[in-house]
Amino acid sequence: MMSTHENDAQALDAYSYAVTTAAERVGPAVVRIDIERDAQRVGPFNVPAFGSGLGSGFIFASDGQILTNAHVVSRARRIQVTLADGRKFDAGLVGSDPEVDVAVLRIGADHLPVAELGRAPLRVGQLVLAVGNPYGLNWTVTAGVVSALGRELDVPGSRKMTNLIQTDTSINPGNSGGPLVDSFGRVVGITTAMMPMAQGLGFSVPLDTVKATIAKVTRKRETKPEGVSMGVGGMRVKIDPTVQKNLNLAQQFGMELLEIRRDGPADRAELKRMDIILAAADEAVTEPRDLQRIVRRHRVGEKLAISFLRGGKQRKVTVVL
């Protein structure tokens, strides 16, 4: 029979294993973000002054797309991203939604390590980790639990933020924009705020809100000026290994639909949110840019064969562009 001490040691080892494994999985995709801000008029003589800032982010698409907080990059005249391997890149702002404090950046690099986004719903009491650069201390990991869901927070100088994840993970200046991950290293939110003078109170934007922002940005990029579009927004996701095995699929990734324009081509073809596109015109689709490339070769009114997953089953549909 095991002693209490032995049981405690085993529990600690299990906890440590979960934390270290999660940190190792997401760590390579976490980035440091340094900001040079636009001039502001300050002082009694109204003299222009430039500012700087520091935040965190993470790579969510291998072609250099990065998620962070909108407030981290607001008024930025230059955004510099430092990868976990030490490489530095100037980043462009692809799009942002200050209402929910989410922004998408892009750097000129490819084949980058990607943070996997979670799919299961969060539960109060669940183990979570925050990874970021508090006070410039690069790639710092803090662990805690989900304290509450659906929180509201009045942010000074901003609108009320809603539906936030409350955690007791340590969140400090510089953490903003970094990933909040579960024990498998899968992203469940973006750290966004701390409550001054409070201990054990941190807040993160939930993944559903983050996905909605990604969808808006990708749908805008997917639409050509001449109007050739499927009317969708989405993101790269990993296919469930069990589904992949059962269906004998060769590819590991697909494009999950997060937004479908009402009465657009995809909507008329009865595609739905959370469907995962596998192929278009018999070409593999593993992320939004694959679909964009295929759609752009077609004209308005042409038909496009789409293969997709829904409820663990593979289906096909024809979309009229």
Give the pLDDT confidence of 261-311 residue by residue, as tens digits: 888 899 999 999 889 999 999 999 988 888 988 998 888 889 999 999 998
User: In the chain, what are the domains?
Assistant: 27-107 (2.40.10.10), 127-208 (2.40.10.10), 223-320 (2.30.42.10)
pTM of the predicted model as reported, rounded to 2 decimal places: 0.72
Active-site amino acid positions: 71, 101, 176
Per-residue pLDDT reduced to its tens digit, 215-263: 877 666 554 444 678 888 877 888 888 999 999 999 988 998 877 888 8
- What does the H/E/C string look like for the chain? CCCHHHHHHHHHHHHHHHHHHHHHHHHHHEEEEEEEEEEEEECCCCEEEEEEEEEEEEEEECCCEEEECHHHHCCEEEEEEECCCCCEEEEEEEEEECCCCEEEEEECCCCCCCCCECCCCCCCCCEEEEEECHHHCCCEEEEEEEEEEEEEEECCCCCEEEEEEEECCCCCCCCCCCEEECCCCCEEEEEEEECCCCCCCEEEEEHHHHHHHHHHHHHHHHCCCCCCCCCEEEEEEECCHHHHHHCCCCCCEEEEEEEECCCCHHHHCCCCCCCEEEEECCEECCCHHHHHHHHCCCCCCCEEEEEEEECCEEEEEEEEC
Give tens-digit pLDDT for 146-157.
999 999 887 666
